[in-house]
Amino acid sequence: MSILVNKDTKVIVQGFTGKEGTFHAEQCMAYGTKIVGGVTPGKGGQEHLGQPVFNTVAEAVASTGATVSMIFVPPAFVSDAVMEAADAGIALAVIITEGAPVKDMMFAKAYAVKKDMMTIGPNCPGIITAEECKIGIMPGFIFKKGNIGLISKSGTLTYESANQVVKEGFGITTAVGIGGDPIIGLSYKQLLPMFEADPETHAIVMIGEIGGDLEIQAAAYIKEHITKPVVAFIAGQTAPAGKRMGHAGAIISGGAGTAAEKMAALEAAGVKVVVSPADIGKALAEVMKK
């Protein structure tokens, strides 16, 4: 078991024939992901990486039965691509693109919700079910199969955490990079119950950062509904207020969104919170012993 995606998931790529789309689609296919086609308007009818190219997402869905779309289109066209996927009946869009305007994502997300389409990202590494299906840009070899679910706002911290989890002798069920933008798709609150319901997942690692209050919402949810052990790290304890730390959403504004308040809320919810990200693996080993 796993959450959201597995070895049978059929995936199309929007922005299939572009440089990024091509490189990462190839890597995903090599990992075992069922990439069944792609969309590049104007290139319909061609073949790319041995798979059919379509002009529209609707055609791609009708012809391939794909349920997931991996989106690599440039920032200015992301909202259009997301809405097209939603309109075509895609169940989950994984938006890798970095730099999408916030206003565009606000409209795209509202439309996706209306059309019952889940989204992950933007500006994220994607989602991976270990040794089955990789939809994104993460280095697949780090994610050995196991019993730990992983949710993270940051790409490289996802890799760092997964690496520590594996070094401690555990492995990953599914890892989801949710992205660090102000408006994102699936977040902790939606993903935690999926991991709670997944019998193969025995514990959850969650990586947050300064800015917004998604981690506070997660803490409230964990307190009420999550029975599995959770280990958390919040990046940005040493970040100054008012400065944007790389991610568009990572900013402490008006004294809110600090690491300290998020860590306190998670601790109060019974989460094992580590101060140093170097201790994620060790903390996980501790909670798994209990």
- Write out the residues near other proteins by the rule CB under 8 A: 27, 75-76, 99-104, 106-107, 109-110, 125, 137-139, 141-142, 152-157, 159-160, 163, 180, 182-183, 207, 209-210, 212-214, 217, 233, 235-240, 242-243, 245-250, 254-255, 259, 275-279
Instruction: Kindly state the smallest distance separating residue 189's Cβ from other proteins, in Å.
Output: 10
Instruction: Kindly state the smallest distance separating residue 138's Cβ from other proteins, in Å.
Output: 6
Query: Given the complex with other proteins, which of 60 and 124 has the nearer CB atom?
Result: 124
Query: Given the complex with other proteins, which of 197 and 260 has the nearer CB atom?
Result: 260
Q: Measured between alpha carbons, how far is 11 from 131 in angstroms, rounded to an integer?
A: 16
Query: Given the complex with other proteins, which of 167 and 225 has the nearer CB atom?
Result: 167
What contacts 24+ positions apart, CB below 8 Å, involve 155-159?
Answer: 155/124, 155/125, 157/207, 157/233, 157/235, 157/277, 158/125, 158/207, 159/125
Is residue 24 part of the annotated active site? The answer reads no
257: left (phi over 0), alpha (psi -120 to 50) or beta: left
Q: Measured between alpha carbons, how far is 103 from 92 in angstroms, rounded to an integer?
A: 21
Q: Could you give the 3-state DSSP secondary structure of residue 32?
A: coil
Instruction: Kindly state the smallest distance separating residue 144's Cβ from other proteins, in Å.
Output: 14
Burial class of residue 280 in the structure, from the number of CB atoms within 10 Å of its CB (0-12 exposed, 13-18 middle, 19+ buried): buried
Cα→Cα distances 49→26, 53, 155, Å: 7, 10, 26
List 24, 202, 225, 247, catalytic entry: 247
Angle, in degrees to the nearest 10, between helices 57-64 and 78-87: 40
Instruction: Kindly state the smallest distance separating residue 45's Cβ from other proteins, in Å.
Output: 31
What distance, in Å, lies between the first and last C-alpha atoms of the chain? Answer: 23
Query: Given the complex with other proteins, which of 37 and 208 has the nearer CB atom?
Result: 208
Counting every residue written for the chain, the total comes to 290
Instruction: Kindly state the smallest distance separating residue 133's Cβ from other proteins, in Å.
Output: 17
Instruction: Kindly state the smallest distance separating residue 179's Cβ from other proteins, in Å.
Output: 10
Q: Measured between alpha carbons, how far is 136 from 9 in angstroms, rounded to an integer?
A: 14
Q: Measured between alpha carbons, how far is 289 from 108 in angstroms, rounded to an integer?
A: 43
Query: Given the complex with other proteins, which of 41 and 139 has the nearer CB atom?
Result: 139
Query: Given the complex with other proteins, which of 62 and 76 has the nearer CB atom?
Result: 76
Residues assigned a catalytic role? 247
